[in-house]
Structure 1
Amino acid sequence: MTQSEQAQKTELLAELEATCHRTFELVDSLSDEQLEVPYHPGVNPPLWEMGHASFFYEVFVFNLLDGTPSYDPSMDDLWD
């Protein structure tokens, strides 16, 4: 990997880390009532969407770019 590619990789991982922290801040600021949504066949609960998106970032970005193992491998089958 060239020095430029390494710098790009480092920058991308840092941006993803910042995005992760900001997402947690936003979700943590919501009350339980705000996280509940009425059932609709085409709408998933917000926490499910967040978990699913996190799984894909972990598997397809962090694992592939950084070699970081899954935070909790037992959850891989649930989200995949």
Structure 2
Amino acid sequence: MNSLSAAANVLAPAYYLLLERGYAVFHEKESDLWVAQKDGLRLLGYSTIELCGLAYIHEMKGNDWTVADAAIEDYLKLESA
């Protein structure tokens, strides 16, 4: 079985993946956040891995990315289990 973890060695590959997907990616020193921009969309995250996750959510769900309160509650139960 292959394994991939959110670790420092995937930050650069995540950065280049975003570039390949057409995003402009940069680090804002004042806020210490990474930014990815494309077609009027601005994604903010603490790492390029987070930006990849946000980009995926937007690509799959568009602007209708939210879930119902019940789904949030179910998710929070998973964290505390």
Q: Please indicate the TM-score interval, normalised by the length of the shorter structure.
A: under 0.3
Please report the TM-score for the alignment, with normalisation by the length of structure 1.
Answer: 0.24
Q: Relative contact order, CA 8 A, sep 6+: which one is greater? A: 1
- Larger relative strand fraction: 2
- Larger relative helix fraction: 1
Please say which structure displays the higher CA radius of gyration.
Answer: 1
Please report the TM-score for the alignment, with normalisation by the length of structure 2.
Answer: 0.24
